[in-house]
Structure 1
Amino acid sequence: MGVTSELTKENVKKKDTDIDFQESDINVLIESASRVIAPLWPISTFAARNPWMGLEKQSFDQVADWLKNTRDVDIYPSASMILSAKSKGEIDEAFVKMGLQRWLDSHSFNIPRDVAERFCHTALKLDPLPSNLLSLHKLEKLGEEFSGLNTDNIENFPMQPISSHIENKDGKRLVNILDHHVIKWCKLYLDDSQAGWTMPNREEGFYRAWQRLIQYDPALSKKQRESLKGWPQEVHMALKEALFVLEIPESEIQAYLEGHLLSLPGWAGMMLWRSRQSSHEHALLTEYLAVRISMELALIKPYLPLTNQRSEKRVSITPLIASWIHWGDLTIEEWSQMSVAEQNEYLSFAYSFDEKLRRKLWLEAWEQTYTDRLSQKIFSKQRKTNDKKSTLAQLAFCIDVRSEPFRRQLEKEGPFETIGIAGFFGLPIATSELGSNHSHSSLPVILKPRHKIKESANENELKSYQQRKQAVNSLSYTFKMMKQNVLSSLLLPELSGPWLSLQMVARSFVPRGADRFIRNLRETWLRKPNITLSLNHVHNTEAEIPVGFSEEERVNYARQALKMMGLTKNFAPLVVICGHGSQSTNNPYAAALDCGACGGAAGGFNARVLAALCNLPEVRGKLSSEGFKIPEDTVFVAAEHKTTVDELRWIYVPELSEAAQEAFDRIEAIMPKVSHNANAERLAQLPNFQKELKKPKAEAHRFAEDWSEIRPEWGLARNAAFIIGQRELTQDCDLEGRAFLHNYDWNQDESGDLLANIIAGPGTVAQWINLQYYASTVAPHYYGSGNKATQTVTAGLGVMQGNASDLLAGLPWQSVMQSDYETYHSPLRLLIVIQAPSEYVERLLNNDSAFRKKVQNGWVRLASVDPEGRWENWELQK
């Protein structure tokens, strides 16, 4: 598979054995090689990531083949997952048969069609070949004697690190020893204030710091340390020298670099992310590769000179013959009587209809079943048109799949209209909390903040708050320093033991009461005074980004958000902008439950900023002159939907008009029932939950507050669709918390710009989330992060299994699995449904080549609903 870039060939003009390229050449190769990994954010600012974001120019099938060949990583659902889904009724076998017929029609084989169909239908049952059949002496002999298979009967293994082919005297592969060393150095360099002592010379960069220390590393032998003593000080020279001594052909350097990046994709991904955050570390991925390949050279020097390490793999004939005997109803005698030409045709067919293809057909049928049932669900409901005049309140929620059940329960309880929009509400801001000199981004990680919004308060109140906060920070810092200091750590247990023991007992036996007490104590001590937001632009030439908005920007952001919500007329008396956040205890993945797109930033702050902007008289005046007439008695408020407990927390409620107050009181009155029903529906999906529990609210709080709870909520598991259209399209449909919902009215988007922005922004984020869950389910050992109970938080950055694993980039087992043997998340590629005329979709595909490639190459699926209510599945030819 051609994942390795053609850039390699374009840049190679010299003999393969003569590595004589410039620094710019190696930079191009590394940049191109980095496509095989994805940037990894620290876990405290967790952001869902598509692990294949750099490979979307290839098809999903091509990348699946390449990963299987390079890393033995399988990205199709396993047979057990497929059979489990089939037993639960999630796959209509009619779609499997249709897929098989399409495949047979598109291929030419010189065997009878009925024989081929019978073989395929039996093989599609996914039962493995019996081991006693495979071990039959007669069969093995037939396989050994056959040598005429007319297919690519010799497969070349992709370029792998040389250390992966060599074992030491203890039988350990050198690549595993290399990984162990590299993990150690990465932890030392990347440590985010978790270690008591920082890595010496860290400010000089990863490579230089490593080079100064490696000659004292007791984990290496004296000869290995000596071999690295005079190593080049310039990172590019070191990398070039290592590749030269290892005799890597210049045409294969990029593939060789890819192999090393894929060995530890988590640590390499963290290096890639860091290299993009500041100019100071822009060469960090190059330094990582220089360190890794230099150490590889030191480890394999005793084994030089090396014989040719390129391997060849011959197609195993015995399993192919066995498949015809087991699935094709042939006997060994019948097989022996066939001519060599006939045998060749049968073997070629069995070789083509391999296990990967069989599981691919099942996956596509699984996806088509979901698509078919979603369309039936949408069109089986009698559509009702909302009476906009009687609507008491309009509530804008994040598109997050967890909002859908809450919105549905809310709509049942009164004349409320709910709206879906990306949960940062189109505000590209960084937030600076009261009394802090630091800020953090509050928008999807694919974007950069353009404004800083600061909290401020009365000077006397601010001073008092800062003193209290400083006391807490000082206590925390002192505890940490004592824990890390050799002498004070001996005294620390005597001082802290009674308090920590009491806390441990309370959290273990009365988690809800203990957590509530600790939280109330903290909130009381650190209570914030009344704050104001710096919405008006503050001129400061020293700031990296401007503080606040100009008058024009305030209007633009309000207008943009209202248009994205489709809220340009028929305003209700109360408009609630609802961000979302989560609540859990002792959870390294807490940020992942806040927002999978915004680096763990909850949406409440953005909701407050947008509500405040929409209440400004000057903003309303300008919008009114443009036709956006917001009634005087309409008031915007802000709230936050707590997904773990399904509650609505008010965070900004200005003075309300009489009509807005009535709406507000009505929401307050129904909220206990909405929360009860939403919790009951959501908690029923959790394993071992008592279905007859009468107090789901109390149980939801226990899940959130118990520090031993490994699954406080399911998060975005089972996400499967992104629906872009009017709420009327899906209203009254139970979408089972599986759909991202974004409002869109094609009638207000004549240019198609709104749709293009939704696809480029929220659509990309939804795809990233979908493929993160997909990868963590189908290949948990490579793209997941294992069992939460055995994870180790390391370097303040992320989690490992044990003390020397890769930095684990994906979701834990408990986020996607119902039990050790049964999945909860259904690994389906995202279905994007657009409610618009076909010409809108065609224009989108013609104008957005990246999105077209995603659809064409099978990374997302696309369907549309036209104004007449016709459903169309879009399958683009490659």
Structure 2
Amino acid sequence: MNAALLSFKPNKHFDSDETAGRTYGQDTLQSPGILAAIERACTRIAPLWPLQQFVAVNPFLGLSDRSFAEACEFSARMGQGEMLMPASFYAEQYRLGYIQDADISQALQQTGSIWTLKQCLIELQDLPSHDTALPSNRCYTLADHLDAVHGSQWALLITDEISKWCAAYFDQGQSAWRMPWRGLPLYAAWRRAAAFDRTPELAGLPAFRQTISALPEQPIEAITQIFTAMGLPSARLDDACHRQLLTVAGWSAWVRYKHWQASPEQTQDALLQLLAIRLSYDYALISALASLQDIEAWRGHWQDAPLVNTDTAGALEIRHILQTAYELATQHPLFEKLASALASTSHRQAERKNLQAVFCIDVRSEVYRRALEMQSHTIETLGFAGFFGFPIEYIALGHHQGQPQCPVLLKPKFRIRESVGDANVGELRNILERRWLRKRLNRLWKGFKNSAVSCFSYVEISGLSFAGKLLSDSLGLTRPVVKPSIAGLDKTIVNRIGPVITRQRGRLIAKGPVVETGIALGDRIELARKALQGMSLTDGFARMILLCGHGSTTVNNPYAAGLDCGACGGHSGEANARVAAAVLNDREVRAGLAAQGMTIPKDTWFVAGLHDTTTDKVHLFDLDRIPHVFSEDLLLLRRWLDRASKLARHERAPGLGLQGHDAANLLKAIAKRSRDWSQIRPEWGLAGNTAFIAAPRQRTYHFEFDGRVFLHNYDYRQDADGAILSLIMTAPMVVASWINLQYYASTVDNRRFGSGNKALHNVVGTVGILEGNGGDLRVGLPWQSLHDGKTLRHEPVRLTVAIEAPAEMIEQVLANHAEVRELVDNHWLHLTRIDPLDNRCYRYIQPQHWQAVTDYGRER
């Protein structure tokens, strides 16, 4: 324990109730008022998905009702984190000529600032001195205040203690010995555990166990008593609750996720209990350690501190202006490309294609789409959400339940189970029994290795026998662990496993519950129709259509799910692609579509594929179901994919430090990285994302976007009622904004919004990671996913959205959806449109007011 902390001894015991009544007796606290404050604080917490389903989340989700500029000040004041880059970053960008005077002038106009360009340039010279400035009106917990005054480390100790107990309570099977009070609510379980925990007392906090045991058993009653003792002004209780939760921001986010899809009352109750735990530690400090002078000074801070600090407002405003200028500089090359495309190219060419390939809108697909299109003029690629419009729960062979294969904003509507093709009942039973037996034996062996009795003797006796495997794993020649999807299965069986789309009712495993799986015919027809309309693919079908999901191949990577498909809930898109292809090849489905006026030619076949974004290989599935008439088409597809993979790998190689290899050696080097357990940068994921474009592919066909743009196919001519545009702006665009803001936040303040050094990560409870062996649960992205060791690989800019559609259609969506309008009006993204008539780009200012995008006098 830190010496300063241990040396900080109690001055006197403090009768909190008496002093609270004497000082703030006129400000009586009632439970309804406290509950309202807690609810307001809870809405500011963004959820954190578990590692197995890790998806990008907008960390500013609870602040979207404020403007971006207001949120910057609020976040810094609350200690939530910095939302702007250090001042020296902008000064360097200006010195290098990336930010130009014209950008600053335009930023002044956009932000509505009263500053002049001359004033900004003068201020810019002194900005680096403000890099470490913190708002003097920053909100503090009592522990924060004591640490600042006395040099103690109570805040750190409290965070470590709460994190320790949350890890034990929320553990999902990682620990061999479970907490005995997991059946109790969080606060009650913690009180039971705290009765035995001497750590705070050993650290210098007297009578901690007695203080906690004397608190009320119900969390709201405990919070009410604690706030009464604290004597904080009722008008600041929501900020006080928020600040308390931010001291354990990671676990607060996890608790918010646990009830993300539950009722608001359940969400409030869960965070209320965590808040009660955190407040209890400050209450213990009040009761036994803090002096009257300390408490009065802390209370005065909350009572008198202004909500906006004029001393730091100027420095914050100039940084906000320069952030906007930096984003404008980033936008110019994009707008030049979009405006230079001919308006006539927005119409699809009449000739029939040999191949149409539908990829996820993920920025990594942009590189591969270009490489594939270069193989032949008879190839057309399209961009669509990677779950292909099929919100399913996919139940793997021999499992009780499955994983959601759809964006986290949606709930799965259908269950799809796996089965073994052409297997009779007896063979299927034998396959399942072998898999269960192998998995049980594997669990027993793992339990033996990890048990407290055998772990040391096991290593001493058997350790050397693993030397060969350890060496081959370290060299990237073998994979350290088997992929979970094929664990316990014979290699001859793997290729026979596939989804069952027809409606069935039965047991998924022996003695399991009877469940209904598959999709009814009427639902299959409706899903197919909506998917094709969403792709803007309602006619002109090619002979072969590839539905290509994506996934990533890495090992020893807690954030592996973050490299898979966010549209598939942090899983690979294989299941969705296979289900979608099977449905679209279904004769009954095609007949149903034809009855609605959407005819898929008989000589069109849908093929499912998976793009491995680490190796740039594309795997094809269910090839045995393809009619022989498509044999030559399949051979041609494979040839095109092989060539496209080589081009894509060659383009990505410099970013991985692998330039100079020929095609064969480059594939070996990249494959080796995917199996290397020590590799901290197997791929760059979505780093570098800057824009989202919804337009016909012909608008962007001739341009290289360097894997930085989400590309969604959209033709407003096929969307008379605007339903497709509404879906795009409320789902894929919002998800893209979540991804963008997570990368943005992890870049501007990785300590609070990111997860630090990847080499120090330790998985806790299988739900998240700690950096090192303690501290709060970390959120966001590791620094190695954003920085290559020399420079940033992700530019911290808000998402630029460009939609090719009439202004009235876009404005109608904003009018109908308040949450989308909030993102736009509060400047969490930049909304622009491409006018299909005059071929110019326009920036959204307000309804019926779009400003033409120009160069604004920038030097070329």
- Does TM-score exceed 0.5, indicating one fold? yes
- The 2-side partners of 1:357 and 1:278 are apart by 39
The question of 1:307 aligning with 2:325 is answered no
User: How much has 1:799 moved relative to structure 2?
Assistant: 1.2
Aligned to 1:50: 58
Aligned to 1:512: 477
Cα distance, 1:196 vs. partner?
1.4
Q: Distance in 2 between matches of 1:477 and 1:554?
A: 39
* Superposition deviation, residue 176 in structure 1: 2.3
Deviation at 1:656, TM superposition (A): 3.5
1:406 aligns with 2:368: yes
Could you tell me the TM-score, scaled by structure 2's length?
0.87
- Structure 2 residue aligned with 1:36, among 44, 56, 79? 44
Kept in 2, the 8 Å contact 1:39–1:270? The answer is yes
Residue of structure 1 equivalent to 2:317: 357
Matched to 2:323, the amino acid is L
Superposed displacement of residue 281, structure 1 = 6.9
One-letter amino acid of the counterpart of residue 79, structure 1 = A
- 2-structure distance, mates of 1:842, 1:278: 32
Match of 1:503 among 469, 477, 488: 469
Aligned to 2:854: none
**1:375 and 2:332 matched:** no
CA contact (8 A) 2:79 2:139 kept: no
TM-score, with structure 1 as normaliser: 0.85
Q: CA deviation at 1:125?
A: 4.5
CA shift at 1:610, angstroms? 0.8
Q: Indicate how the Cα distance of structure 1 residues 437 and 526 shifts in structure 2: closer, same or farther if over 3 A, else same.
A: farther
The alignment partner of 2:183 has SS state of: helix
Q: Does 1:485 align with 2:451?
A: yes
Q: Distance in 2 between matches of 1:451 and 1:525?
A: 29
Match of 1:291 in 2: 277
Contact residue 99 and residue 325 of structure 2 kept, 8 A: yes
Retained in 2: the 8 A contact 1:435–1:466?
A: yes
Percent pairwise identity: 32
CA contact (8 A) 1:120 1:353 kept: no
Are 1:452 and 1:546, in contact at CA under 8 Å, matched by a contact in 2? yes
Aligned-partner Cα distance in 2 for 1:811–1:756: 30
Partner of 2:227: 243
Q: Of 262, 269, 273, which aligns to 2:257?
A: 273
Displacement of 1:308 after TM fit? Answer: 3.6
Q: How many angstroms apart in 2 are the aligned matches of 1:155 and 1:776? A: 21
Q: Distance in 1 between matches of 2:50 and 2:78?
A: 27
Mapped contact 2:143–2:155 kept (Cα < 8 A) = yes
Aligned-partner Cα distance in 2 for 1:91–1:712: 32
Aligned residues: 798
| Contact 1:47/1:600 (8 A) holds in 2 | yes
Change (3 A) 1:514 1:401: closer
Q: Distance in 1 between matches of 2:503 and 2:621?
A: 23
Correspondence 1:220-619 to 2 at 5 A: 220-221=200-201, 223-276=207-260, 283-302=269-288, 303=290, 305=292, 306-310=295-299, 354-381=314-341, 384=345, 387-414=349-376, 415-457=378-420, 458=423, 459-509=425-475, 511-513=476-478, 524=490, 527-528=493-494, 530-531=496-497, 533-538=499-504, 546-619=516-589
In structure 2, do the counterparts of structure 1 residues 575 and 117 end up closer, same or farther at CA, with 3 Å as the change threshold? closer
Structure 1 residues 250 and 311: alpha-carbon distance in aligned structure 2, compared to 1, 3 A threshold: closer
CA distance in 1, matches of 2:328, 2:220: 50
Q: Deviations over 1:420-450 (max 9, x none)?
A: 1101111111010111112111111111111
Cα drift, residue 92 of structure 1 = 4.1
Structure 2: distance between partners of 1:102 and 1:444? 33
SS of alignment partner, residue 592 of structure 1: helix
**Residue 843 in structure 1 maps to residue 843 in structure 2:** no
Instruction: Check whether the contact 2:551–2:564 (CA below 8 A) recurs between aligned residues.
Output: yes
More divergent stretch after superposition (177-186 vs 43-52): 177-186
> What letter matches 1:307 in structure 2?
E
Residue pair 1:613, 1:619 contacting (<8 A) in 2 also: yes
Residue type matched to 1:120 in 2?
C
Amino acid at match of 1:477: R
Q: Quick check: 1:782 aligned with 2:766?
A: no
| 1:160 paired residue number | 140
Deviations 1:109-129 (A, max 9, x none): xxxxxxx65443233246535
C-alpha separation between the residues in 2 aligned to 1:812 and 1:130? 26
Question: Is 833-842 or 168-177 further displaced after alignment?
Answer: 168-177
Tell me the distance in 1 between the aligned counterparts of 2:812 and 2:215.
56
Give 1:238 deviation, angstroms: 1.8
Q: State how far apart, in whole Å, the 2-side matches of 1:587 and 1:469 are.
A: 25
Q: How does 1:209-220 map to 2 (within 5 A)?
A: 209-220=189-200
Give the aligned partner of residue 207 of structure 1.
Answer: 187
Q: Which residue in 1 is equivalent to 2:803?
A: 834
In the alignment, structure 2 segments of 5+ residues that lack a partner are 1-23, 305-309, 850-860
The partner residue of 1:178 within 141, 151, 158 is: 158
Contact 2:610 2:620 in 1 (8 A): yes
**1 CA distance for matches of 2:102 and 2:661?**
37
Structure 1: runs of 5+ lacking an equivalent: 1-13, 109-115, 135-153, 316-349
Query: Partner amino acid for 1:20?
Result: Q
C-alpha distance in 2, partners of 1:353/1:55? 19
After superposition, residues 580-659 of structure 1 pair within 5 angstroms as 580-653=550-623, 655-657=625-627
Q: Distance in 2 between matches of 1:535 and 1:437?
A: 18
Q: Deviations over 1:390-420 (max 9, x none)?
A: 4101111111000001001100101111111
* Matches for 1:15-164 after TM superposition, within 5 Å: 17-22=27-32, 26-71=34-79, 73-83=81-91, 85=93, 90-100=98-108, 107=114, 118-125=118-125, 128=128, 157=137, 159-164=139-144
**Is this contact kept in 2: 1:398–1:423, CA < 8 A?**
yes
Change (3 A) 1:495 1:423: farther
| 2:764 pairs with 1:794 | yes
After superposition, the C-alpha distances for 1:558-609 in whole angstroms (9 at most, x for unaligned) are: 0000000111111111111111101011111111101234332111101111
Indicate how the Cα distance of structure 1 residues 16 and 840 shifts in structure 2: closer, same or farther if over 3 A, else same.
farther
Alpha-carbon distance between aligned partners in 2 of 1:56 and 1:642, rounded to the nearest angstrom: 34
In the aligned structure 1, how far is the partner of 2:731 from the partner of 2:527? 16
Structure-to-structure mapping, 1:693-732, within 5 angstroms = 695-732=665-702
Q: Is contact 1:639–1:652 with CA below 8 Å preserved after alignment? A: no
TM-superposition CA deviations, 1:683-721 (whole Å, max 9, x none): 2123x4334555322222122111111100000001011
In the alignment, is the contact (CA less than 8 A) between 1:573 and 1:659 conserved in 2? no
The answer to whether the 8 Å contact 1:168/1:174 transfers is: no
Structure 1 Cα separation of the partners of residues 91 and 658 of structure 2: 25
Q: SS state of the match for residue 204, structure 1?
A: coil
**1:65: Cα distance to partner?**
0.5
1:336-385: CA deviation from partner (whole Å, max 9, x where unpaired) = xxxxxxxxxxxxxx968833223222221222223221121123345656
Q: 1:523 and 1:675 mapped to 2: Cα distance?
A: 29
Partner of 1:805: 775
Q: Provide the secondary structure at the position in 1 that maps to 2:550.
A: strand
For the residue of structure 1 that corresponds to 2:755, the secondary structure is: coil
- Which amino acid is the alignment partner of residue 443 of structure 1? C
Counterpart AA for 2:830? R
Is the 1:435–1:462 contact (alpha carbons within 8 Å) kept by the matching residues of 2? no
RMSD: 3.2
Looking at structure 2, the residues matched to 62 and 392 of structure 1 have their Cα atoms a distance apart, in angstroms, of 52
Q: Secondary structure at the match of 2:618?
A: strand
Q: Is it true that 1:670 corresponds to 2:650 in the alignment?
A: no
Q: Is the partner of 2:257 in helix, strand or coil?
A: helix
Q: Secondary structure at the match of 1:452?
A: strand
Contact 1:462 1:529 in 2 (8 A): no
